[in-house]
Amino acid sequence: MLSTQSRPVIEATLPIIAERISSITPNFYNRMFAARPDLLDGYFSRSNQKNGKQQQALAGSIAVFASHLLNNPDTLPETMLARIAHKHASLGIVEEQYPIVYEHLFAAIAENLGDALTPEIADAWSEVYWLMAHALIKIEKGLYAKQVNDHYYSLWTLTGREETAPGSVTFTFEPADDTPVTPAEPGQFISLRMPMADGVRQVRQYTLSGNVADTSRRTVTVKLDPNGEFTPILHTQLKVGDTIEISNPYGDLVIDHSGEPLVIATAGIGCTPSAAALATLAESNSQRSITVLHADQEADTWALRAQMVESVEKLPNATLTTWFERGELPTDVKSTAGLMNLNNAEFDPNSHVYLCGPLPFMHAVRGQALAAGIPAERIHYEVFGPDVWLAV
């Protein structure tokens, strides 16, 4: 918790820091990468730096953390910290890197606030930073300790690739060496790391999309971003037989094992965690009540249609309903034209609801699930890329 001397300072300065943090964070990243360009090699996404998502996510997390310390002095925002820690662990972030972030972040804060940054204010916000940093370090060390190997990355060989929809390819990898393989949970992701055209390694996280009970392989389904840096190389240059660096599996949004009813609502390529969960549940002959909801632009762009339909058919208590914005509606599944709408849906209040897709979709469906009587603590979500939900 905050010290007694820092608490009133944070209370007084949080509004201005929260207002300015979104302009402070770009300066911070510019400073850090100027001093440590090596951090762009294998750690930070250049694309997320250009589009501002990384800065937005950092700014939101700092403001939320400080607010939580004020409003809930005896606890920490565990959900937010866990989500950040899992992402950090998938990148191989270590304790020794936190002082680097501190140095350049507080230089950016000092430049922005100028003479208004008194020693008391600097000390109070330093305390906030290190409370957050030490909490993350503790979680990350725990995550590393749970792995069955001590590698941040190991080599995997591409053994299969299949275009599952226009612009979407499913990649299957198998171990390239004898590094022990950490089992994954449905809903978790892995980091793929490979060099770009200039030789600088970039990393992207992709949710596992196949049956995760099979530890002999990792399967991800990736949608091409024609304007991106990573996916064009992945789609056009990575060939069967090539090797790539892959992290251990991480991610706190995993399908619970309670046996209670499930509602899985996805849109677009956000269907990947749903596909993995359904394949894994089908493999274990699950008897759970499962409501699968998916929205897409049209039936042909649904990346994992065949796999999801097959899994649902194997699950005795699963149903599948779809929505498509345009094009002919499929006849093999229940489908409706337009956007997903759950306003008239009836759900068991004991259901766990999992959401994955674009932020506007998740905001809308979350509101509809709440209106349908699902408690907020039973609604879970996954954001692809930096988690900017808190900053929206």
Phi, psi of 239 (to 5 degrees): -115, 155
Catalytic member of 29, 98, 354, 381: 98
Hey, how many other C-beta atoms are within 10 angstroms of the C-beta on 12? 12
Decide if 102 is catalytic. no
Cβ distance 180 to 168 under 8 Å? no
Nearest to 245 by CA among 321, 341, 152: 152
Q: One of 29, 129, 140, 206 is an active-site residue; which one? A: 140
Between CA 26 and CA 20 the distance in angstroms is 11
For residue 281, which of 259, 304, 306 has the smallest C-alpha distance?
259
C-alpha gyration radius of the chain: 22
DSSP conformation class of 237: T
In what helix (H) or strand (E) does residue 19 lie, and over which residues does it extend? helix 7-35
Q: Is 140 a residue of the active site?
A: yes
Instruction: Count CB-CB contacts under 10 A for residue 64.
Output: 16
Q: Report how far residue 18's alpha carbon sits from residue 367's, in angstroms, rounded to the nearest whole number.
A: 26
234-251 residues labelled b (16+ CB within 10 A) or e (exposed): bbeebeeeeebbbbbbbb
Measuring CA to CA, which residue among 11, 1, 21 is closest to residue 120? 11
- Residues annotated as part of the active site: 98, 140
